[in-house]
Amino acid sequence: MDWRAVVGKNVRALRQDRGLTQEQLAFEAELDLTYLGGIERGKRNPSLLVLARISEALGVSPTALLATPAR
């Protein structure tokens, strides 16, 4: 399982569901825009506390960022 890809897809989907741009989410989560883009593309390995900031900005539990498609 590529967990970076899982997190990236979840962050992007949740962000778009909320009608947020990457710029808006980066601002809310206090992340560099380029870094957030890398997370969404599955290229970065974010820390627990970064995941927590993103989930808080999206209004979800951190577990939602790690959710995998039902099998």
Name residues contacting a copy of itself, limited to 2-21 (CB under 8 A): 3-4, 7
Contacts of 42 (CB under 8 A, 6+ apart): 2, 4, 5, 6, 7, 8, 9
Query: Residue 19 or 49: which CB sits closer to a copy of itself?
Result: 49
- Helix (H), strand (E) at residue 57: helix 48-58
Query: Residue 7 or 14: which CB sits closer to a copy of itself?
Result: 7
Q: How far is the CB of 38 from a copy of itself (least distance, A)?
A: 12
List b or e across 13-25, with b for residues whose CB sees 16 or more CB atoms inside 10 angstroms: ebbeeeebebeeb
The reply on whether position 60 binds a copy of itself by CB under 8 A is no
- Interface positions with a copy of itself (CB under 8 A): 1, 3-4, 7, 45-49, 51-52, 61-63, 66-68
